[in-house]
Amino acid sequence: MKYTQLGRTGLKVSRLVLGTMNFGPQTDEPTSHGILDAALDAGVNFVDTANVYGWGENKGRTEEIIGTWFAQGGERRDRTVLATKMYGNMGADGQAWPNHDKLSALNIRRAVDASLKRLQTDHIDLYQFHHVDRDTPFEEIWQAIEALVQQGKILYAGSSNFPGYKIAQANETAARHGRVGLVSEQCIYNLVERRAEMEVVPAAREYGLGVIPWSPLHGGLLGGALRKEREGSTGRSASGRTAEALADPALRSKVEAYEELVAKHGLEPGEVGLAWLLAQPGVTGPIVGPRTRDQLDSALRAIDLDLTPELLSSLDDIFPGPGPSPEAFAW
Nearest Cα neighbor of 52 from 122, 120, 123, 128 is 128
Rounded CA separation 90/95 (Å): 9
- Contact by Cβ (8 Å): 239, 39: no
Rounded CA separation 156/126 (Å): 5
**Is 53 noted as a catalytic residue in this protein?**
yes
The answer for residues whose C-beta is within 8 angstroms of residue 95's C-beta and 6 or more apart is none
Q: ∠ CA 311-315-319 to the nearest 5 degrees?
A: 175
Rounded CA separation 88/60 (Å): 11
In the set 3, 53, 189, 258, the catalytic residue is 53
What do you get for the CA distance between the two ends of the chain, in Å? Answer: 43
Q: In the beta sheet, which residues pair with residue 124? A: 154
Query: 279 exposed, middle or buried (CB, 10 Å; 0-12, 13-18, 19+)?
Result: middle
Rounded CA separation 168/165 (Å): 5
Helix ranges, 42-99 (H): 61-70
Dihedral over Cα of 33, 35, 38, 39: its sign: negative
Rounded CA separation 331/329 (Å): 6
Q: Annotated active-site positions, please? A: 53
